[in-house]
Amino acid sequence: AKVAGKSCYRFYSRAMDQAVERRVRMEQDLRGAWDRGELSLAYQPIYRLGDGQLVGAEALLRWHHPEQGSIAPSVFIDVAEQSGLIETIGPEVLRVACNDAVRWHTQFNRGKELFVSVNVSPRQLRSGELPDQVATVLRDTGLPASQLHIELTETAVIGDEVHASALLARLRSTGVKVWLDDFGTGFSGLSHLRRVPVDGVKIDRSFVSDVLRDPDDLALTTAIIAMAHSLGITVIAEGVEKEGQYAILRERGCDLAQGYWIGHPVNVQEFCGLLA
């Protein structure tokens, strides 16, 4: 038993070494990825449920690794977050997204009022530099502040609500809109919305995917919409994959929606194709 235990330990330790090694390697590769042109943004269209109009797009980071092909953001964003690389990648994302949005406004009739929505990680928020970065990028690109939306996850603001609320207030004073992403998953409860100043909430995909078959998820979604509206907060549903989900969300008064049923994330050229 002793021997088995020992080899077992060696096995796990080797597997762990490999995992650590992979992470370190990924971090090194990610470091120069912008400069080598491996990172880009995809845009997923966002529609208004009332009239079906295209109103904006969410910017989603893509990494095309020269050997490994495309790597999921859920994997490399985590590495960027933990290594601190997000503090250089984040501002780049902001800049590219705002530049692209300005082009939609100036080049396309149908692009005149579109907003662009940018994901910001907890670490970027906590660094405290975000409000200044946002102000700078708006000034440099000329994008109207109201056309930039910042998406923060619930977890970024939970825990340290006083600090987070102050940062959000500073952020909103630049004129940008702040959205709470993955809403409903953090168990923060709806009462949270009264204390944290946001313009919108994104109902998490896990609720949206079940609105047709789980009465609890439909009830919760309906309650989020009603509560948010009573506080003057806009509601968007993400992960709409079926016509029936779209229909029921629209019937319940949800404001905006995005998802594979309405539009996949596409590269910037393809997105411009939607506007032409």
Instruction: Rank residues 171 and 240 by Cβ distance to ligand C2E and give the closer one.
Output: 240
In whole angstroms, what is the distance from residue 178 CA to residue 201 CA?
A: 9
Instruction: Rank residues 133 and 258 by Cβ distance to ligand C2E and give the closer one.
Output: 258
> What backbone torsions phi and psi does residue 117 show, to the nearest 5 degrees?
-115, 125
Buried b (16+ CB within 10 A) or exposed e, 99-111: bbbbebbeeeeeb
Please give the structure tokens belonging to residue 181: 């992403």
Alpha carbon distances (Å) from 108 to 102, 114, 116, 128, 209: 10, 10, 15, 35, 33
Instruction: Rank residues 233 and 262 by Cβ distance to ligand C2E and give the closer one.
Output: 262
Question: Binds 167, which of Ca ion, ligand C2E, none (CB < 5 to 8 A, cut-off by type)?
Answer: none
Q: Report in angstroms how near the CB of residue 234 gets to ligand C2E at its nearest.
A: 17
Residues forming a β-bridge with 56? 46, 115
**Residues at the interface with ligand C2E (CB under 6 A):** 44, 60-61, 72-74, 77, 93, 119-121, 181-182, 205, 238-241, 258-260, 265
Q: Report in angstroms how near the CB of residue 76 gets to ligand C2E at its nearest.
A: 9
Q: Report in angstroms how near the CB of residue 203 gets to Ca ion at its nearest.
A: 9
Instruction: Rank residues 181 and 255 by Cβ distance to Ca ion and give the closer one.
Output: 181
In whole angstroms, what is the distance from residue 267 CA to residue 276 CA?
A: 15
Q: Report in angstroms how near the CB of residue 81 gets to ligand C2E at its nearest.
A: 7
Residue linked to tokens 């702040």: 178
**Residues at the interface with Ca ion (CB under 5 A):** 119, 151, 181-182, 210, 214, 217
Instruction: Rank residues 29 and 201 by Cβ distance to Ca ion and give the closer one.
Output: 201
Residue linked to tokens 């946002």: 134
Instruction: Rank residues 198 and 240 by Cβ distance to ligand C2E and give the closer one.
Output: 240
Question: Binds 73, which of Ca ion, ligand C2E, none (CB < 5 to 8 A, cut-off by type)?
Answer: ligand C2E
In whole angstroms, what is the distance from residue 165 CA to residue 269 CA?
A: 37
Please give the structure tokens belonging to residue 38: 């491996």
Question: Binds 61, which of ligand C2E, Ca ion, none (CB < 5 to 8 A, cut-off by type)?
Answer: ligand C2E
Question: Binds 60, which of ligand C2E, Ca ion, none (CB < 5 to 8 A, cut-off by type)?
Answer: ligand C2E
How many Cα neighbours within 13 Å face the side chain of 263?
Answer: 24
